[in-house]
Amino acid sequence: MFINNLLRPEDWNTPANAKFSFRREHIYALIEEFETIIKNQPMLLKLRAPIKVFGDVHGQYVDLMRFFDLYGSPTDKKQEGGDLEGFDYLFIGDFVDRGSHSLETICLLMSLKCKYPE
């Protein structure tokens, strides 16, 4: 649900005052699923080249969508610009704290991890 509504690189021009459209219960369920996945995975990641590395997103959802639009997005749907078959994605921190869409950013990243845990 989160991925379909948030991973839309072609529609990246979201207004700063846009209302977040998910309910609290959905966010809690996402957090629980995400937590279960990361607790059961090793601390050391084994990635395969080529890798797309993203750092210091700082809640800049619009910038993240712009990157996905320009360089491909982390989905398995090639017809929609996805490139998971050819690339690993690594998000290295500073996901939220400055941007006006921190909640969208962290929910998208958690939902990507839930859908594509490896």
Note the pLDDT of residue 111. 92
3-state secondary structure of 99: coil
pLDDT score for 6: 83
Q: What pLDDT does residue 13 have?
A: 67
pLDDT at position 40: 96
pLDDT for 5 equals 79
Task: Specify which residues 82 forms β-bridges with.
Answer: 73
pLDDT lower than 70: segments of the chain: 1, 12-16, 79-81
Alpha-carbon distance of 57 to 3, in angstroms, equals: 17
**pTM (predicted TM-score):** 0.85
Q: Give strand ranges (E) for the chain.
A: 51-54, 88-91
Residues 6+ apart with CB under 8 A from 11: 65
